[in-house]
Amino acid sequence: MTQAHQGYSGSSAAAGGGAAAGAGGGLNVLGRPFQHISEQFILSTEEIGRGRSGSVTMCVHRTSNERLACKTIPKGSLQSEEGAGDVRREVEILESMRGHPCSVQLLAAFEDEEFVHLVMDLCQGGDLWQRVQQGGAYGEGEAAAVVRRLVGLLRDLHAQGIMHRDVKPENVLLRREDDDADIAIIDYGVSVFFNPGETFSEIVGSPFYISPEVLHESYGPESDIWAAGVILFVLLSGALPFWGDSDEGVFRAILERSVEEEVEREGVWESVSEEAKDLVLRMLTRDAALRISADEILEHPWLQDNN
């Protein structure tokens, strides 16, 4: 984060208690006076990404000329207090991850009569899925570096009582084009706060990365570890462990297909170390109670050997 970030007057993004009527009589999501983003930033019309709740474009700070990313959420799409609460929760989670090296950084938040704008640092290396599609499977050293950072972030999220719930390669951005392991996790749009032992039943996430317990509608933070295990599988092999012709087919594969058989197939897995395979299998253990924890992953011999 550069020094220019410190001066953004919209950067105090902590939300108020609930939605209220704004100065224009419309929904007030962030619970503070409306402020137009155009006072400080020039917004591009070219979309560089899209999340569940809005589009992402580039923006330029009028004084520093710094290029940043802006997630724009149309308030008309929120429909209800629940939708507004989802945005407030996303902002609160982003605030809680301020300064974390492996999370995208929220630098300012603006709200006017029509939109909520979240200004964040700009990652210029694309996402992890694009990188694998273009460059193929990662070597074990680079894969270990990515997983170490990803799981380190998940450990820190879980320690604060936050579950991401949409961990996938498309939500892992590369900060620079010349570094395949310098990552930033994005899109906390479906993330939730949880208490120890609390379980959730809402099925959210992206089909290829959903854990068995999410499909069984009783899950906790262990589901994030499963999704990270799918990412590790993708990094090492360049392919997904579970697939099907439809979402239902993918879900059936998640519940039934043998991961052990996949990692013993001839081909790309022949060159993968036994230690790496062991970590994949432990992260993709179907029983969440037996699945390896974030702390155990970070102490796993494969990560230690590739440190």
* Pairing state between β 115-120 and 172-174: unpaired
pLDDT band, residue 24 (cuts 50/70/90): very low
CA dist., res. 48 & res. 57, Å (int): 5
CA dist., res. 217 & res. 56, Å (int): 31
Structure tokens at 133: 């599609």
Catalytic member of 127, 166, 180, 187? 166
The 10s digit of each residue's pLDDT in 113-127 is: 999 999 999 999 999
CA dist., res. 56 & res. 78, Å (int): 17
Structure tokens at 105: 């950084």
- Can 305 be counted among the known catalytic residues? no
Q: Is 174 helix (H, G, I), strand (E, B) or coil?
A: strand
The 10s digit of each residue's pLDDT in 61-76 is: 999 999 999 999 999 8
Q: CB of 118 within 8 A of CB of 69?
A: no
CA dist., res. 303 & res. 307, Å (int): 6
Res 19 pLDDT > 70: no
Give backbone dihedrals phi and psi of 100, rounded to 5 degrees, phi first: -75, 130
The 10s digit of each residue's pLDDT in 68-112 is: 999 999 998 887 778 889 999 999 999 999 999 999 999 999 999
Q: In Å, how far from its chain's centre is CA 239?
A: 20
CA dist., res. 38 & res. 1, Å (int): 22
Place of tokens 């009527």: 21
pLDDT band, residue 13 (cuts 50/70/90): very low
pLDDT band, residue 54 (cuts 50/70/90): confident
Q: Kindly report each contact of residues 195-202 with a partner whose C-beta sits within 8 Å and lies 24 or more positions away, as own/partner.
A: 195/161, 196/161, 200/163
Domains in the chain: boundaries: 9-120, 128-305
Considering the segment(s) 128-305 as one domain, its CATH architecture is Orthogonal Bundle (1.10)
* Pairing state between β 67-74 and 106-111: unpaired
The 10s digit of each residue's pLDDT in 148-188 is: 999 999 999 999 999 999 999 999 999 999 999 999 999 99
CATH homologous superfamily of domain 9-120?
Phosphorylase Kinase; domain 1 (3.30.200.20)
Mean of pLDDT values over 230-243:
96
Q: CB of 107 within 8 A of CB of 119?
A: yes
